[in-house]
Amino acid sequence: MNDVSRAAAALRAGDLVAFPTETVYGLGADASNAEAVAKIFAAKGRPADHPLIVHLPHAAQLSRWAMDIPESAHRLADAFWPGPLTLILKRHPAVIDAITGGQDTVGLRVPNHPLALQLLNEFGGGVAAPSANRFGHVSPTTAAHVRDEFGAAVSIVLDGGPSDVGIESTILDLSSARPRILRPGMLDAAALADILGEMPALGANAEAPRVSGSLESHYAPATPLRLVAPTELETTLRDALEAGLSVVVFAPDAASFVHAKLSWQASSMDPARYAHELYASLRRFDAMQRDLIVVAAPPVADSWCAVADRLRRAAAGGK
């Protein structure tokens, strides 16, 4: 048996499998098996009312999981699946409550990674998978990150190399009249609007279903992180050093000054490259065990929206 076959067998047996996707690594379980899904919540330490995304081998399975599927969902699936887009649709009555957190909608996506697709095709059904990190931690983009998070608690980790995109999928809610982006991702509003024929709304509204990623403290490294305008960077660093703090600074420019307690780390000027490196960088900065991470805020532009969202949340968390 090869690794993928062993992983598919584990899913069938009700066990957890961590696997790569193009966005981040997922911690998967058979989405139709409530006991298996419960193991995800236990392993992550995630509140049980947070809904999970169901990963499918192909869009043809949509109708097993959702109903009243709008035509736009099929067009988006044709255009972007497999890919970093999660669609929120009315749930099919057969979908178990453990997946939906008891809501009347379900999140679905076909991931674009050869190993994930092999696993899903060989398993044949839906695989529920949140990002493979403990609740509130930074999402993993390599198999080594997953092992750091769970150690022996997750015995099967498929290694597909570093995730290409690097941050989580765009979540688009199609369950009510106006399409709404609940979580921005590298697939941006303009690309969705091209297929939808209208601009989606942005952000959760009062009636919108819960998105655990919308909790402010999500995606946070353990080290406090401060997000500052590039023009404020030097003053912030000088103040922190004066206060005796050791600092990692993540900014596109070369070091503007040198100090024994300051470590400059170069960030990319390209949003796709920046997203690809972001979570691995945050983990690396944590490992450096400094007092503070200072990040130069990226430009205010649509192409940076998803990265800026994750940085804001990282800045709101930590200890």
Instruction: Kindly state the tokens that stand for 250.
Output: 């993540």
DSSP 153: G
271 binds, among ligand TXA, Mg ion, none (CB under 5 to 8 A by kind): none
CB of 242 to ligand TXA, least distance (A): 38
Q: Does 168 bind ligand TXA (CB under 6 A)?
A: yes
Spatial separation of the C-alpha atoms in residues 215 and 188, rounded to whole Å: 21
**Could you tell me if 247 and 237 are in contact, meaning their C-beta atoms sit under 8 angstroms apart?**
yes
What does 117 interact with, of ligand TXA, Mg ion, none (CB < 5 to 8 A by kind)? Answer: none
SS3 210: coil
Interatomic CA distance for residues 200 and 103, integer angstroms: 22
Helices in the chain by DSSP H: which ranges?
Answer: 3-12, 34-44, 62-65, 71-80, 97-100, 114-123, 143-150, 189-196, 233-242, 271-287, 305-316
Contact with Mg ion (CB under 5 A): which of 105, 131, 170, 267?
A: 131
Q: Is 105 in the site for ligand TXA (CB under 6 A)?
A: yes
| 130 touches ligand TXA by CB under 6 A | yes
Candidates 19-27, 60-68, 186-194, 284-292; binding stretch for ligand TXA (CB under 6 A): 19-27
Please report whether residue 119 would count as binding ligand TXA according to CB under 6 A. Answer: no
Q: Supply the Cα-derived Rg of the chain in whole angstroms.
A: 20
Q: Which two tokens stand for residue 261?
A: 């307690």
Selected range binding ligand TXA among 62-70, 128-136, 273-281, 284-292, rule: CB under 6 A: 128-136
Contacting ligand TXA within 194-213 (CB under 6 A): 209-213
Q: Does 171 bind ligand TXA (CB under 6 A)?
A: yes
The count of residues interacting with ligand TXA (CB under 6 A) is 28
Binding partner of residue 111 among ligand TXA, Mg ion, none, CB cut-off 5 to 8 Å per kind: ligand TXA
Give the contacts of 92 (CB within 8 A, at least 6 positions apart). 63, 64, 65, 66, 67, 106
Verify binding: residue 53, ligand TXA, rule CB under 6 A.
yes
Closest CA to 89 of 176, 181, 151: 176
Which of 21/131 has CB closer to Mg ion? 131
The answer to the question of residue 33 lying near Mg ion (CB under 5 A) is no
Q: Which partner in ligand TXA, Mg ion, none is near 141 (CB below 5 to 8 A by kind)?
A: none
Which residues partner with 252 through β-bridges? none
Q: Does 61 bind ligand TXA (CB under 6 A)?
A: no
Q: Are 53 and 108 within 8 A, CB to CB?
A: yes
Of 187 and 251, nearer to ligand TXA (C-beta) is: 187
Residue 50 touching ligand TXA (CB under 6 A): yes
Are 267 and 251 in contact by the 8 Å Cβ rule? The answer is yes
Nearest to ligand TXA of 52, 275 (CB atom): 52
Which spans of this chain sit near ligand TXA (rule: CB under 6 A)? 21, 23-24, 26, 50-53, 86, 88, 100, 103, 105-107, 111, 129-131, 168-169, 171, 182, 209-213
